[in-house]
Amino acid sequence: MDLLKPVEVDSWSGYRYYNEEQALLYVKIKNLQTAGFSIDEIKGLLDADNDTICAAFEEKIREQEDRLRKTKEIQQSYLGEMQKMKAKLEAIRELVSASMRGYDPTEEFGINEEEYQEIIESVNNYFDQPERTLQDIEYDMYPDGDASNEETEYLEILNNPDFEVIYELHDWEYVRDFMDKFTIADDGKEYVLLFTISREKADQTAFANTALAVLLQRNVKSHKTSRRLGCNVTVSEDGKNHFWLLRSRK
């Protein structure tokens, strides 16, 4: 690093020789290095007197104390955020679980109690995965059924140039009537199931989870899949039922 150059190098053995003054310089360099000074900082202190060196040490101590304080703050913040994240995930899980327990999918989806219990179990297993985060779970919670402006927001994806509509149906009565009329290809692309439904369809959360699970069962032929699926459900403004299946273009 050119911090300590030998006064002589033996041309035959390669041994490096230093004088007595360089021994003191060596002590200075090693102490500064051990204290965490960078190479550039050490170069700037090589010719400094002891008072300047001691002042540099004091400044380095303050820097490290500040770094330690910030590290402790980050540690506490991390633990707090982890607890908040777990609480949010548990709140979403409880919302979904309670919603699905009180939902009857027989008429809407044409499935029996045994099939529905399997869906509930699969949803619970999804939440039980240890790596699950809020980035993986996106729910809009409107327990009072208030969907003001939500339909407009959800329908914005229909104008997104990155997606194309590959199937749509309007003014239908039950999902069971059209769930076999399209397929979801195993092509690694992102698919979005978009529903706007009448208020009579009841719980949007249970509807979304059940729709996604049932449509997957009917459309997916293999347990190994690279599909990326989303399901958005909101109340329609016209009181009718609408459905779009969108696929990413890339």
Measured distance CA(124)–CA(118) in Å, rounded: 10
* Integer angstrom CA distances of residue 87 from 3, 71, 117: 54, 24, 25
Residue 162 has pLDDT above 90, yes or no: yes
Is position 64 within any domain? no
pLDDT at position 133 is 53
- pTM confidence score: 0.59
pLDDT on residue 226: 54
Q: What is the model's pLDDT at position 151? A: 60
* pLDDT bucket at 183, cuts 50 / 70 / 90: confident
At 1-31, the pLDDT tens digits run 778 888 888 888 889 888 888 888 888 889 9
Residue 137 pLDDT > 80, yes or no?
Answer: no
Q: Has residue 70 been placed in a domain?
A: no
Q: Which pLDDT belongs to residue 240?
A: 93
Residue in 215, 27, 14, 196 with CA at minimum distance from that of residue 111: 215
> Other C-beta atoms within 10 Å of 150: how many?
18
pLDDT value for 241: 94
The answer to whether position 176 is within a domain reads yes
Tell me the pairing of strands 228-235 and 16-17.
unpaired
Q: Which domain holds residue 218?
A: 106-248
Beta strands in the chain (DSSP E): 8-9, 16-17, 163-170, 190-197, 228-235, 242-248
Among the listed residues 145, 230, 142, 243, the one whose alpha carbon sits nearest the alpha carbon of residue 196: 243
Q: What is the mean pLDDT of residues 187-207?
A: 85
- Given this model, what pLDDT does residue 202 score? 64
Q: Is 105 exposed, middle or buried (0-12, 13-18, 19+ CB in 10 A)?
A: buried
| pLDDT greater than 60 at residue 150 | no
* Helix, strand, coil distribution of the chain in percent, nearest 5: 50, 15, 35
Torsion angle, alpha carbons of 34, 37, 41, 42, to 10: 0
How far apart are the C-alpha atoms of 73 and 78, rounded to whole Å? 8
Residue 23 lies in a domain: no
Whether 226 maps to a domain, the answer reads: yes
Q: Please tell me the total count of domains within the chain.
A: 1
